[in-house]
Structure 1
Amino acid sequence: MDPATIIGIVVAFGAMYTMIALEGADVTSILLPAPMILVFGATLAVGFASGTIPDAILAFKALPRAFKGGIGKPQVVIDRVVEFAEIARKDGLLALEQHAGDEKDDFLKLALQNIADGMDAEELRELLEDEIATRDRVNRTAAKFFNTIGGYAPTIGIIGTVISLTHVLENLSSPDKLGHSIAGAFVATLWGVLSANLIWLPIGTRLTRLADLDSERMHLLLEGMLAVQAGSQPRVLGERLLAMVPAHARGSAGKGEKPLKEAA
């Protein structure tokens, strides 16, 4: 689990609360139901309207992934591929079939099964590349939904402020209430900008980053399993795959540890 999103959002809201407290204001002054209902309700509604219902369902299914992460370390992936290379050299490619049934990673399972079935290397590459492209498109559709509503939220907040100010202008005969009414009117703009930059856009950007990492993981598996099929020497294969990983992303894997399954 990578708690970066949880930590970031909590710290951001904490900083906002700290500012409110240091200003001597009351946090309840921004917790007004009417503007919050408009901003969050209308933002989600136009998000639905800008795409399809399956897109929205896909996005909300991906929401837990934004907070938990779910991409294994490259070194874990490399160690797993090297393990299969050793099995293939010792027992032959057909021996990989029994491991395919126990494999939890669907992408790796697909590669193992087709290698054991004797699929041609070029056909296997095309199959796995198509699988990567499809999964990447699905992951980015979820990310796009949150980035889209992050773009709508500030404008909807302004709409709420305009509605409230219109109501304020209708009641100029009560000057003692103008200050409170005007302050309340700007709460909608606050929540529009706040929700976009502290919630929706961070989630969308996080899902985009996870999509990048997952694509890199699958490409690493693609090259690794094709090398296994070609009979590459395990140690050399491990060094080759490690060279494909940026230095800052490399990590050590514990004995028997397996790559995390993609959270789709």
Structure 2
Amino acid sequence: MDKFTPIGLLLAAVAVVGGSILKGAGAGALVSSAAFMIVFVGTFAAICVHTPPSTLRHAVGIVKWIFRPPVASADGTIGSVLEWSNLARKQGLLALEPAVEEQDDAFVKKGLQLLVDGSEPEVLRSTLEVEIDAREHADTAAAKVFESAGIYLPTMGILGAVMGLMAVMQNLADPSKLGSGIAAAFVATIYGIGAANLFFLPAAAKLKAVIADRTRLREIIVEGLVGIARGDNPRNIEARLRGFLH
């Protein structure tokens, strides 16, 4: 689990709530059901309009990556490739057949199966690269849902503030209601700007970094499998794969 994400969210909450208290407004000033409705329900409505259902479902599925990114080690991946390379060099490609069944990752399993089936190196590369591109495109589109939310939220916050000020203008004859009314109006702005910059935009950036790491690992696997298919020396394969780590 990524420990920094919960710590960051906790510090964000402390910054907003603590700042409100230190400024004399109090934590209660940040609570507004109307502002919540306008900002968050409005933003979700906008996301539903512009996002295909499949992408939205995928975005919900990768939320866990923000807190618990997929565990994958580049060194471990290279080690596995070298193990397969040495085995294939000594006993032939068919010796990798048991390794196919041992794989939990469907991508690795597919690549090894193509290798065992005797696919030509370029056929192997092109087949797996198509899958890499498709997966990266789908994952990136899902990550952009959070980025879009981060763009819509501040605007919805301004909309909430304007609607709140409209309500205040209707009570100009009663000066006792002006101060609290104006303060409540700006809660929507806090919700929009705070949620966008303290969660949704950072979350989108985090997901894009995770996706980039996953893509790099798949590229390492493809390069390694192609090297095995060509019959390259395991040392040469290792040297080539280590280049991905710089």
Tell me whether the two structures share a fold, i.e. TM-score over 0.5. yes
After superposing the two structures, state which structure 1 stretch, 173-182 or 71-80, moved more: 71-80
1:17 positional shift: 2.6
**Partner-residue secondary structure (3-state), 1:176:** helix
Q: Deviations over 1:144-185 (max 9, x none)?
A: 111111101101111111111111100111101110010000
Structure 1: runs of 5 or more not aligned: 247-264
CA RMSD of aligned residues (A): 1.4
Are positions 1:211 and 2:204 aligned together? no
- Which residue number corresponds to residue 252 of structure 1? none
C-alpha distance in 2 between matches for 1:244 and 1:166: 57
Structure 2: runs of 5 or more not aligned: none
C-alpha distance in 1 between matches for 2:177 and 2:34: 18
- Which residue number corresponds to residue 160 of structure 1? 160
1:92 positional shift: 1.0
- Which residue number corresponds to residue 137 of structure 2? 137
1:110 positional shift: 0.9
1:89 positional shift: 1.4
C-alpha distance in 2 between matches for 1:201 and 1:140: 14
1:71 positional shift: 4.4
Opposite residue 204 of structure 2, the aligned amino acid is G
- Which residue number corresponds to residue 103 of structure 1? 103
- Which residue number corresponds to residue 249 of structure 1? none
**Partner-residue secondary structure (3-state), 2:24:** coil
Are positions 1:3 and 2:3 aligned together? yes
Opposite residue 93 of structure 1, the aligned amino acid is L
1:91 positional shift: 1.8
Are positions 1:200 and 2:200 aligned together? yes
Opposite residue 113 of structure 2, the aligned amino acid is Q
Are positions 1:30 and 2:26 aligned together? no
Q: Deviations over 1:197-229 (max 9, x none)?
A: 111111111111111111111111111111122
C-alpha distance in 2 between matches for 1:82 and 1:112: 13
- Which residue number corresponds to residue 88 of structure 1? 88
Per the normalisation by structure 1, the TM-score is 0.89
Opposite residue 101 of structure 2, the aligned amino acid is G
Q: Deviations over 1:6-64 (max 9, x none)?
A: 33222222222332232233112112111012211111110111121111111111111
- Which residue number corresponds to residue 180 of structure 2? 180
After superposing the two structures, state which structure 1 stretch, 162-171 or 19-28, moved more: 19-28
Per the normalisation by structure 2, the TM-score is 0.95
Asked if the contact 2:78–2:241 (Cα under 8 Å) also holds between the matched residues in 1, the reply is: yes
1:94 positional shift: 0.9
Asked if the contact 1:5–1:202 (Cα under 8 Å) also holds between the matched residues in 2, the reply is: no
1:112 positional shift: 0.3
Opposite residue 161 of structure 2, the aligned amino acid is T
